[in-house]
Amino acid sequence: MDHPIEFFSEDIDFSLENPEQISDWIADIIEQHEQELVSLTYIFCSDDYLHQINVEYLDHDTLTDIITFDNADIEGTIEGDIFISIDRVRDNAATHGTSFHDELHRVLIHGVLHLLGFKDKTPEQEAAMRKLEDSSLSLRKF
């Protein structure tokens, strides 16, 4: 299936394994939430690159694994840019005792869940987000 999902890297040499299968999986999750996928761009980068975006655009002077920008103009549509620090994903995988690919897939879908309207600011929202991530991860066919 062909989807309007693109994967790029900035300032690091990283390419996604099986991008077509991952795109299908992401599109399926969006469809399950009854949203229309317009355009989704993932940008893989370093801690330094994402930290600069965090400072410049969000006024947060911290490291993070993901920043999601929602570009949708029409309710019910998904259009956005998702920046992911591969450095953070590697560190978090080690910290949580999971594989790099499982952690990367969790972060990939985490950004989509934000675009779908789910938040993670409170402990309750965080717990709900984790359940949605787990549910989404269980639907992977790769």
Residue 45, strand partner residues:
85
Q: Is 114 annotated as a binding residue?
A: yes
From the list 120, 99, 121, 112, the residue with the least C-alpha distance to 25 is 112
Residue keyed to tokens 């938040």: 119
- Whole-number Å distance between alpha carbons of 124 and 30: 22
- In 3-state terms the chain splits into helix, strand, coil percentages (rounded to 5) of 50, 20, 30
Collect all residues with Cβ–Cβ distance below 8 Å to 106 and sequence separation of at least 6.
133, 137
Question: Binding site, residues?
Answer: 110, 114, 120
Extract the annotated binding site for Zn(2+).
110, 114, 120
